[in-house]
Amino acid sequence: MPDAGLSLSPDAMRSRALETLASLVGGTFWEKMRIEAAARIIVTARRVALLAEEGLLAGQTPAGVIHPTAARWDAAAMTANEFAETLETAEIVAILEEAPGWSEAVWAQQTQLSEPEKARLLQRV
């Protein structure tokens, strides 16, 4: 179970707590969370595409905005979070709205996974 940052030094814990409180009070918290979520989806989409090319994941890339957007990210030039920060709000919203269906489509194509393995993976999240 995560320690929720409680293993940090008191100064580091105080700093993180105050930064989060300030973002909540300042109204930027949810935008940051949307950007971070979009970045995670972008990284996952790139991994899925690379693994599919290598034959390590089954199926085809689902149509939509996620893969084309992820393909625009230059991982050598910036982090996924930095890239997500450059996206228009409408692009972030589209990624977040598409993500549940996209992930279901990718997951459904993983027929090489046994049902017990799928259940084990789903229990870990």
What are the phi and psi torsion angles at 113 (to 5°)?
Answer: -85, 135
* Rounded CA separation 66/77 (Å): 19
**pLDDT of 17 higher than 80:** yes
Q: Is residue 6 part of a domain?
A: no
pLDDT band at 4 (very low <50, low <70, confident <90, very high): low
Q: Tokens for 116? A: 């017990």
pLDDT at 5: 61
Selection from 91, 73, 70 nearest residue 82 by Cα: 73
Q: Is residue 2 part of a domain?
A: no
Q: Tell me which residue range forms the domain holding 100.
A: 29-124
**pLDDT of 10 higher than 80:** yes
How many domains does the chain divide into?
Answer: 1
**Per-residue pLDDT tens digits for 78-115:** 999 999 999 999 999 999 999 999 999 999 998 888 88
Q: Is residue 91 part of a domain?
A: yes
Give the up-direction half-sphere exposure of residue 104: CA atoms within 13 A in the CB hemisphere.
5
Q: How many CB atoms lie within 10 A of CB 95?
A: 24
Q: What is the pTM of this model?
A: 0.81
- Please report, rounded to a whole number, the percentage of residues in the chain having pLDDT higher than 90: 71
- What is the sign of the dihedral through the CA atoms of 70, 75, 79 and 83? negative
Q: Is residue 37 part of a domain?
A: yes
User: How does the average pLDDT of the chain come out, rounded?
Assistant: 91
CB 83 within 8 A of CB 73: yes
Q: What is the pLDDT averaged over residues 30-51? A: 95
